[in-house]
Amino acid sequence: MTHADRSRRDAIARRAARDIPDGAFVNLGVGIPTSVANFLVPGREIICHSENGILGVGPAPDAHLVDPDLMNASRQHVTLLPGASIFHHADSFAMIRGGHIDIAILGAFQVSSTGDLANWSTGLDGVPAVGGAMDLAVGAKSVWVLMEHRNREGISKLVERCTYPLTAVGAARRVYTDLAVIDITPEGPVVREIAAGFTFDALQGMTDARLKLAADWQPAEVA
């Protein structure tokens, strides 16, 4: 991954971190979402959950402070915040399926204009790995998606209809990309923020799904 790729993905995670309300229990999924913990302001009461059995996930450790026994569901080394707890995988999924996770922050290959989520297989190559995504997509009170606006081939990941195998129907409520913040509403995708240097028309030209511009939209802050 290039420095530009990392910077772009970190900017998405940083932006989403700002919107998490105090007191929320938040699952951080595979990909860009795992970085959200790095950008939470210290002292805020936000409890990050990892599906393999952790409450109280902290930011990524410094290289010289890695504990090889502490890993998240993405097999990445993590830290624990004061008061964190570790528990059985089954208990973790009981939390998810019981509706105790306020926000599931997930990555995606595609999100449709009605919030359909496809994030476990492209159906083309690689080994499909659904993990806990289906449970999270239907068990969490709200689902936010963090993804780059276009894939490596320059094709929009926000689409009218998903062409990849679905994880869940109508699950996504908000999408954060490197170009915009978009709410998925009954009227379709509504743009709340647009990245600096882009107009709505330019954003629409890079997006397969038909967008609407919120009356109170804002230009995104420079990271």
DSSP codes joined into one string, 99-128: T--SEEEE--SEEETT--EE-S--SSSS--
Phi, psi of 167 (to 5 degrees): -90, -45
Residue at 136: amino acid letter? L
Task: Considering the candidates 51, 148, 187, 193, report the single residue annotated as catalytic.
Answer: 51
Is 221 among the catalytic positions?
no
The CA-atom distances, in angstroms, between 112 and each of 9, 85, 88 are: 21, 36, 34
From first CA to last CA, the distance across the chain in angstroms is 20
Please name the residue that has the structure tokens 């450790």. Answer: 61
Contacts 24+ apart (CB under 8 A), 159-162: 159/110, 159/111, 159/112, 159/113, 159/208, 159/209, 160/112, 160/113, 160/208, 160/209, 160/210, 161/112, 161/113, 161/116, 162/110, 162/111, 162/112, 162/116, 162/117, 162/118
The CA-atom distances, in angstroms, between 79 and each of 66, 98, 204 are: 8, 26, 40
**Residues involved in catalysis:** 51
